[in-house]
């Protein structure tokens, strides 16, 4: 059995799958097989909906918090790169002025 190519799905599609699981009464595994989806991915979608609705475990991040965290990490990376450039520029100009 080969590895499946990674697919991405819209928020709307994920929400529809979770709603289908809730309304149909079928198991996550059954719905995942019917829609040719990885069961673990569908389980994560269901768990994330639980967290977003306030019924998840304490300390779990909502979707909005995850998005904000990703943006903040990206910003930190940019700032660290800018700081490194400034350090190198300062050292270069300090050497030039001597």
* CATH code of the domain containing 19: 1.10.10
Burial code (b: 16+ CB inside 10 Å, e: under 16) for 62-75 equals: eeeeeeeeeeeeee
Question: How does pLDDT run across 74-95, given as a tens digit for each residue?
Answer: 999 999 999 999 999 999 988 8
Residues 35, 69: one domain? Answer: no
- Helix runs in the chain, H state only: 11-24, 28-34, 39-52, 63-96
Report how many domains make up the chain.
Answer: 2
In a shared domain, residues 13 and 56: yes
Q: What is the pLDDT, as a whole number, of residue 18? A: 95
Domain that holds residue 24: 8-60
What pTM was estimated for this model as a whole? 0.68
Instruction: Express each pLDDT in 12-65 by its tens digit.
Output: 999 999 999 999 999 999 999 999 999 999 999 999 999 998 888 888 899 999
Rounded to the nearest 10 degrees, the angle between the axes of helix 11-24 and helix 39-52 is: 90
Do 13 and 54 share a domain, yes or no?
yes
Residues 78 and 39 in one domain: no
- Confidence check: pLDDT of 1 > 70: no
2, part of any domain: no
């Amino acid at each position: 059995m080969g590895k499946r190519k990674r697919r991405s799905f819209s928020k709307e599609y994920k929400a529809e799958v979770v709603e289908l699981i809730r309304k149909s009464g079928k198991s996550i595994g059954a719905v995942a097989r019917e829609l040719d989806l990885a069961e673990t991915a569908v389980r994560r979608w269901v768990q994330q909906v639980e967290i977003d609705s306030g019924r998840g475990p304490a300390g779990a991040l909502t979707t909005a918090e995850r998005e904000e965290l990703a943006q903040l990490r990206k910003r930190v990376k940019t700032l660290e790169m800018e700081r490194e450039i400034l350090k190198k520029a300062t050292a270069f100009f300090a050497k030039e002025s001597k």
